[in-house]
Structure 1
Amino acid sequence: MKKILLCALFLCPQPLSAGGMEKLVEKHYEAPGLKPALWGLDIRYSQGEKIYSLNADKNLTPASILKLFVTAAALEIMGPEYRFETGLYAGGEIRRGVLYGDLIIKGWGDMTLGSGNFGSSPEKVYGEWLAVLKAKGIKEIKGSVKADDTLFSDYQPGSWAWQDIANYYAARTGALSINDNLYRIFLRPGKKEGEKTEFLRFEPEMPLEIENLVVTGPEKSGDNSYIYGLPWYGKITVKGSVQKQDKEFPVKGAIGDGALYCAEAFAKYLSVSGVKTGAPAARIKGKQDYQKLVPLHSGFSPELREIINVTNKKSFNFYAESLLKMLPFRGTGSAGESEGFSELMGFLKKCGIETGDLWLEDASGLARTNSVKASDFTKLLNFMAGRPFFPLFYESMAYPGDPGAGGHIKKMGLGRNFEKSIRIKSGSLKKVRSYSGYLRTKKGRLISFSSIINNYSINPAELDSIHEEIFSFLYENY
């Protein structure tokens, strides 16, 4: 009997890795600071075979790994070469250098217009538009510069925190935006920790009253300030701290009305350039019949593949929320948050995800009320591994030392055995940390993983180290 048993074990050996992974996870989960937390972990081969799971079917707050949903859906629904458009229209006749009517900027959802993420700027965009007017011989506009972002509403998700909504990472997403709808507040830190900072200026100039309560923090402590304000209020309060340094420190805020700002800034640019306007810049009210207007210019965004690359590597909320609203546009001509969620849910069902168990408030992961399983992400990742544009999706995630990435994930895994074999999207909110992506093992097998930790009390850097250990073990043993 013993010989038969030994033979069976020899023919069907249980790999050390199976029990080793369980022991590795249990060791860390029992540690102080992580033991009270809820940890959802799902690790599978890309064909779907389970390697290890822990609370994989428990709904948890995912933070920014949620962007994988909308970026994958955008590739599937729109295609990687898709570009978003912005149009310039004349609302009247052009005679002897005069436009008898309004100059209309029509937004069709290009979230990258004038963005430094793609080597552009508002000045480059305005210069291009001015060149168009000069080519048409327009030296005066009897009407005004008007912004049309009526394709969809620019409201922020109602579940976003008061602490967030005036900051750049929570900027309102409209069909017409400029420079990611952000501005900068420049502060001068004090000479000592705890000293008040001095407000220097806004860039670009903003019609805002500012109450500056920011103090000077320790060197290399970064930006720990928050802007408080409402989009339509005209007053902001800035609290928190910024690191001690000799040079001025920029804090990024969200422009309250991106479309109107774009029109106003361009009107000012025209005035400085010698082109007169007859009335102040304004928003378009109601729908316009563009068949009756004179098209002057159409500008296009970078390809969708490039936008997704920035969205995932930099964890750019503004693009994720914009992509959600634009998901149905190519197929139906309509856009908006509810329409976008409908398209997204249809795609997730296609991935094999039980959408009835999901609760999504946004596409970026900023809402703490989002509720998703770790296994939902591995299902998505495995589905994408079989799509023809998988290499684009894979490369949109960060790798150790990635110059295009931001935050803690840029340094994670440097010098480890898996350094050149991982692509990862991370997420973080207060008491939330998440990791999701792909790992190519030493044996050449592709693994999909997703890890979500809620309500931990250890240093977040320790969670990075724990996951480095897990990835190292997977790389060597599977």
Structure 2
Amino acid sequence: MNPFRSTAAVLAILSVLLLGVRAEALDTESLKPLIGEADALLLVNPQNEPVVSIHADRPLVPASVIKLLTVLAAFHALGPDYRFRTEWYLNPAGDVIVKGYGDPFLTSEAIREMAVEIARIRRHFRHLVVDGSFFADDIVIDGIEPNTEPYNAPVAALSVNFNTVAFQRTAKGAPVSQDPDLPLVPFALQKIRTCRISSGRITVAHDSREALQYAGEALRAVCRKAGIHFSGNILRAPVDRTRDKLLLSYRSRWTLEEMAARLLEFSSNFIANQIFLTMGAEAFGAPASLEKGRRVVEEYLRTTLPGAKIVVVEGSGISRSNRICATDMDAILVRFQPFRHLMRHREGEWFKTGTMNGIRNRTGFLEDADGGLWRFVVLLNTPGKSTESILKLIRPE
């Protein structure tokens, strides 16, 4: 009986036997019902030979496994040692202007470090001005929904704490901040009052305008704790380099490679698209846009994976319009192998998952008893299926 009803599948099974993998280690009859018409499976041995290939050239929704491509393109365009920057300026009217360049790790702790430096230079300002012009206004990420879930946080050139706030409630129900560096600012309190959870982390901004408002209030609160005073308001305006004086150019303590490790560990859509947009602006000039980020990815694919038929709408995988086939995903794994230490690791497996409603994907590397690395791609776009059952059947010994 032909388990996959195709000559290609027969050849795949024969190759398993020829490569000395025990037949019971690859239960092809059990695999058959697990891979539907909207699914794909590819397993490649350490000799770079496909062992199992089912629908490997079929374009499917990748979900978060596309983040591996975003990281590779960013390393290619910016370099693994790239560090995001944030700049502080003083204008002739006595305003301090904070200009963001897409740093996804601009936390209240980082702001505190900057505020301490600014306080050594000057302690009194008029207005606090926030500049988000490095990104285009109101960038809309396909798949992002306007709710308080952290994975739906919007992008912005100047974003604080991933555009989220962590809080808990006192015994009397009053919300308090879980951030030692940042109290609950008015904008965050307004969002907390309308949310339905008693504690946790929520998104406090739904677009770039709200993100800048939250950033401004957070900056002012942390600066005040550092002894910096403002007599005016929070405003939004771009820096004018012909007149404004640079006070501080802050570089993130995190390299891009270190950020990538956290991006893959937590599968953050926000971090992925902040990087995606920033590499586009660095390559093709500000303001950042999705189109420029896509151009960077497309250029990377042209130079390193010619012939790949990958559709990238945004960099996180939250859009269901992204497309990739298992063969192209495997080619990405080949190039990601030197960086596999950035992936989640468990019991001889380095992996990235991609999960959406009705989608369960998993890709990465499996280590055999001899230390050899097997590459695998499991793309399940059929609702109700599990990658775990497939991994149990294809795991090498």
**TM-score, normalised by the number of residues in structure 1:** 0.69
Match of 2:369 in 1: 442
Shift of 1:306: 0.3
**Structure 1: distance between partners of 2:35 and 2:333:** 28
Per-residue Cα deviation, 1:210-259 (whole angstroms, up to 9, x for no partner) = 799xxxxxxxxxxxxxxxxxxxxxx8454xxx8xxxxx641422434223
Which residue number in structure 2 is paired with residue 167 of structure 1?
A: 149
- Give the alignment of 1:208-287 within 5 angstroms: 236=194, 238=196, 249-256=199-206, 257-271=210-224, 275-284=228-237, 287=238
What is aligned with 2:358? 431
One-letter code aligned to 1:300: R
Deviation at 1:111, TM superposition (A): 1.2
Q: Secondary structure at the match of 2:298?
A: helix
* 2:187 equivalent in structure 1: 207
The correspondence of residues 455-474 of structure 1 with structure 2, limited to 5 A, is: 455-458=382-385, 460=386, 463-471=387-395, 474=396
Match of 1:289 in 2: 240
Structure 2 letter corresponding to 1:422: E
**Deviation (angstroms), 1:127:** 3.1
2:114 to 129, 139, 157: 129
State the Cα distance separating 1:369 from its structure 2 match.
2.6
**Are residues 325 and 55 of structure 1, via their aligned partners in 2, closer, same or farther at CA, if it must alter by over 3 Å?**
same
Which stretch has the larger CA shift, 270-279 or 290-299?
270-279
Structure with higher Rg: it is 1
Distance (Å, rounded) in 2 between the aligned partners of 1:69 and 1:288? 33
Match of 1:399 among 337, 345, 365: 345
Q: Secondary structure at the match of 2:292?
A: helix
Residue of structure 2 in register with 1:404 after alignment? none
Mapped contact 1:46–1:381 kept (Cα < 8 A): no
- Please tell me whether the aligned partners of residues 107 and 176 of structure 1 are also in contact (alpha carbons under 8 angstroms): yes
Task: Tell me how far apart the structure 2 counterparts of residues 165 and 354 of structure 1 sit (CA, whole Å).
Answer: 38
Q: Deviations over 1:119-140 (max 9, x none)?
A: xxx1x3343333233322x232
Would you say 1:374 and 2:326 are equivalent positions?
Answer: yes
Is the Cα–Cα contact under 8 Å of residues 64 and 426 in structure 1 kept in the other structure? yes
Q: Which moved more, 1:359-368 or 1:83-92?
A: 359-368
Match of 2:129 among 142, 146, 150: 146
SS at match of 2:75: helix
Contact 1:264–1:282 at 8 Å: present in 2 too?
A: no
Larger RCO, structure (CA 8 Å, separation 6 or more): 2
CA distance in 1, matches of 2:363, 2:305: 17
Amino acid at match of 1:152: F
Alpha carbons of structure 1 residues 45 and 351: separation in structure 2 relative to 1, 3 Å: farther
State the Cα distance separating 1:186 from its structure 2 match. 3.7
SS at 2:117 equivalent: helix
Give SS of 2:301's match. Answer: helix
What residue number does 2:99 align with? 106
TM-score between both structures, scaled by the size of structure 2: 0.82
Task: Give the stretch that moved more between structures: 308-317 or 177-186.
Answer: 177-186
Equivalent-residue separation in structure 2 for 1:131 and 1:14 (angstroms)? 66
Q: Give the aligned partner of residue 89 of structure 2.
A: 89
Q: CA deviation at 1:438?
A: 1.6
SS in 2 for 1:290: coil
Q: Using the alignment, how far apart are the partners of 1:25 and 1:205 within structure 2?
A: 58
Residue equivalent to 1:179? 161
**Cα distance, 1:14 vs structure 2:** 3.0
Structure 1 residues 211 and 25, CA, compared in 2 at 3 Å: closer, same or farther? farther
Q: What secondary structure is seen at the aligned counterpart in 2 of 1:101?
A: coil
Amino acid at match of 1:255: A
**CA apart distance, 1:104:** 0.5
Give the distance between the partners of 2:191 and 2:213, measured in 1 at CA.
24
Three-state SS of the structure 2 residue aligned to 1:399 is strand
Distance 1:46 1:236, change over 3 A: farther
Is the CA contact (8 Å cut-off) linking 1:187 and 1:250 kept in structure 2?
A: no
CA distance in 2, matches of 1:337, 1:305: 22
CA-CA distance at 1:440 after TM superposition: 2.9
Q: How big is the alpha-carbon RMSD for the aligned residues of Structure 1 and Structure 2?
A: 3.1
Q: Conserved in 2, the CA contact under 8 Å of 1:154 and 1:173? A: no
> Gapped runs of 5+ residues in structure 2?
1-16, 178-183
Calculate percent identity across the aligned residue pairs. Answer: 23
Cα deviation code 1:124-182 (max 9, x no counterpart): 3343333233322x23213x1111110113645452153x6542112112111111111
Residue 410 of structure 1 is matched in structure 2 by: none
Question: Does the alignment pair 1:317 with 2:269?
Answer: yes
Distance 2:30 2:90 in 1: 67
Q: Following the alignment from structure 2 to structure 1, what is the Cα–Cα distance between the partners of residues 374 and 303?
A: 20
Is the alpha carbon distance of 1:351 and 1:74 closer, same or farther for their aligned partners in structure 2, counting shifts above 3 Å?
Answer: same
What secondary structure does 1:83 align onto? Answer: coil
Match of 1:300 in 2: 251
Gaps of 5+ in 1: 1-12, 93-99, 115-121, 190-197, 213-234, 243-247, 401-418
| Inter-partner Cα distance in structure 1 for 2:131 and 2:211 | 11
Specify the alignment match of 1:14 in structure 2: 18
Bigger fraction of residues in helix: 2
Instruction: Report the AA paired with residue 97 of structure 2.
Output: I
